[in-house]
Chain A
Amino acid sequence: MEKTLMKGNEAIAEAAVRAGCRYFFGYPITPQNALPEYMSHRLPEVGGVFLQAESEVAAINMVYGAAGAGARVLTSSSSPGISLKMEGISYIAGAELPCVIVNIMRAGPGLGGIQPSQSDYFQATKGGGHGDYHMTVLAPSSVQEAVDLTMEAFEIADYYRNPVMILGDGIIGQMMEPVVFDKKINPDRLKKKEWATDGAKNRKPNIINSLLLDTEKLEEHNLKLKAKYDEMKERDVRVELYKMEDAEFAIVAYGSTARISTNAVDMAREKGIKVGLIRPITLFPFPEKVIQSTLVNIKAYLTVEMSLGQMIEDVKLSVGGKRPVHFYGRTGGMIPTAEAILEKIEKITENDHLERGEK
């Protein structure tokens, strides 16, 4: 397979095209502009449509329209823009429409900055918009993984009739790495969406809607959505374990931070510290059971994030108070170094030994 050197943002765009996505609606925002720019020349080549909307709000509603009309459709943005899309994402989840949303996170709150961050974890995994809903959240930690997850995202979205978010950060979006595109999906051969609004010829009208004024019916609808989220928790949890076989301590980190944490693990191992890495690939559904299964051997956990501590809440829920869960994070666009993570691990292991009177 031929390897191509590509920026994360462009690789995600190409992966979407190869997944059969033919429609993109978006609005410029740093640090994800290379993605829509790529789509603006790539989609017309394959008979698709790239449209620069007047706002993020308009873009996500164009996604709603196209998805409701049966199309494979993508939008991308970065943190402040994703906040604007949240209303639309709630409608998309409510109306059960499949689509893929890319968030190349930058630091907040407010206008914040344009450097990488992971401070939209809560927004992405806990709903974000109004109402009881979730979407699958995929967190790539390399450009190749961003490609693979983007292609899969469209399948997951179609399967569940639910939005899927690719949650990257400025590092994933802007770094260049060699990638292989080994899959291609022909959009003409996708399963026909019988529920889509593409003209009521020889059938009853199809309606795309999230309004249910009857309280019993709305509760029923919400329970139906919950059943989807439960199914995701059963079937779709994805996690990578690194040097966890004999580990006594575990770092939990995702995305770029997991890449850096891998180095910290290797450095700690050279010093004889038995530490491993748990890397959630799906942030929703969260790998709760996998973390629980490590409780037997792990004495303490360290969550590393480019935030002031968001995923740590899910780690703590998984650990259930049975082990200490420590935190190391940088924010505002600052990136944690492997050395700083190592220092934190050393402190945690020393304290642990002291407490146990082992040293």
Chain B
Amino acid sequence: MELVAGYPESLTEKEFHYCSGCTHGLIHRLVAEVMDELEIREKTIGVAPVGCSVLAYEYFNCDMQEAAHGSAPAVATGIKRAHPDKVVFTYQGDGDLASIGTAEIVHAANRGELITTIFVNNAIYGMTGGQMAPTTLLEQKTTTSPEGRSNILSGYPIKMSEMLSVLDGAVYIARVSVHNPANIRKAKNTIKKAFEYQLAGKGFTMVEVLSTCPINWGMTAVDALKWVGEEMTSIYPLGIFKEVE
């Protein structure tokens, strides 16, 4: 009998700790399915961040390193330079990548490091309890922007995909969303493409994934998905920002 659906080999059987309605688990699964399809699990080393997905090393069924806050691209650089024949990816949130780790991601991209970054943007610090992120939308309320984010005080939602796409070392930069099945399918294809470019030795690749945080947004899971589709995508437009074939 042909198996039409199953659990990806690239995920462990460990139960996710993510809150209900959070899309981290789904994004983990997409990355794992891509690893299975490309048959790269045994030669992949992943780097987990600090933030909600800090325990990613318990979920991906491949070699993993847990990095200091913001340092995943630097850690990945060290791994990839030591093992250029292996596949290396980082999995980072918006605080990790777009705030404390901006220098590391910019320079990893600029060097054209042969790594793939999965950047999960949910516009908030989830792990620490809902503080403002660099990607928080204007007027969005968080525990450190109780009146809503003000551009006077805190600047604007940072657009990492747009920023990184101007760097010569970056070959594939795309933003996707997982708020409905059509976009989930698109997200998976995009992630797959990023890994394929890495395997082809083209350069730095990143997929930004718009994600939910119903608990800290104060929404139901359904409303959170809707908010991604309506509010987040209007500030963070989906699409491919850079593709050098």
The answer to whether A66 and B82 have CB atoms under 8 Å apart is yes
The answer to whether B42 and A68 have CB atoms under 8 Å apart is no
In the bound assembly, the distance between CA atoms of A88 and B81 in angstroms comes to 18
The answer to whether A65 and B66 have CB atoms under 8 Å apart is no
Partner of B62, one of A25, A71, A200: A200
In the bound assembly, the distance between CA atoms of A67 and B86 in angstroms comes to 15
Question: Please, how many residues of chain A have a CB less than 8 angstroms from a CB on the other chain?
Answer: 39
Contacts of A87 in B (CB 8 A): 68
The answer to whether A207 and B71 have CB atoms under 8 Å apart is no
Q: Mark A197-232, 1 if CB is under 8 A from B, else 0.
A: 111111001111111000000000000000000000
The answer to whether B68 and A61 have CB atoms under 8 Å apart is yes
Partner of A65, one of B60, B78, B106: B78
The answer to whether A61 and B104 have CB atoms under 8 Å apart is yes
Contacts of A64 in B (CB 8 A): 65, 67-68, 71, 74-75, 78
The answer to whether A54 and B65 have CB atoms under 8 Å apart is no
Those of A44-79 within 8 Å (CB) of chain B: 49, 51, 53-55, 57-59, 61-71, 73
Whether, in the assembled complex, B212 has its beta carbon less than 8 Å from a beta carbon of chain A, the answer is no
In the complex, residue of chain A having the shortest beta-carbon distance to the beta carbon of B86: A199
Contacts of B63 in A (CB 8 A): 197-200, 205-207
The answer to whether B45 and A197 have CB atoms under 8 Å apart is yes
Whether, in the assembled complex, A301 has its beta carbon less than 8 Å from a beta carbon of chain B, the answer is no
The answer to whether A65 and B54 have CB atoms under 8 Å apart is no
- Given contacts A205-B61, A206-B63, A207-B57, whether A69 and B71 have CB atoms under 8 Å apart is no
Whether, in the assembled complex, A91 has its beta carbon less than 8 Å from a beta carbon of chain B, the answer is yes
The answer to whether B41 and A200 have CB atoms under 8 Å apart is yes
Q: How far apart are A50's CB and chain B's nearest CB, in angstroms? A: 10
Q: How far apart are A272's CB and chain B's nearest CB, in angstroms? A: 57
Whether, in the assembled complex, A249 has its beta carbon less than 8 Å from a beta carbon of chain B, the answer is no
The answer to whether B77 and A62 have CB atoms under 8 Å apart is yes
Contacts of A58 in B (CB 8 A): 71, 74, 77, 103-104, 107
Q: Mark B66-101, 1 if CB is under 8 A from A, else 0.
A: 111001001111111111001000000000000000
Those of A63-120 within 8 Å (CB) of chain B: 63-71, 73, 87-88, 91, 95
Contacts of A69 in B (CB 8 A): 45, 65, 78-79, 82-83
Whether, in the assembled complex, A23 has its beta carbon less than 8 Å from a beta carbon of chain B, the answer is yes
Q: Mark B104-133, 1 if CB is under 8 A from A, else 0.
A: 101100000000000000000000000000
The answer to whether B79 and A197 have CB atoms under 8 Å apart is yes
The answer to whether A73 and B104 have CB atoms under 8 Å apart is no
Whether, in the assembled complex, B145 has its beta carbon less than 8 Å from a beta carbon of chain A, the answer is no
Contacts of A70 in B (CB 8 A): 82
The 3 closest A-B pairs by CB, nearest first: A65-B78, A61-B74, A66-B78
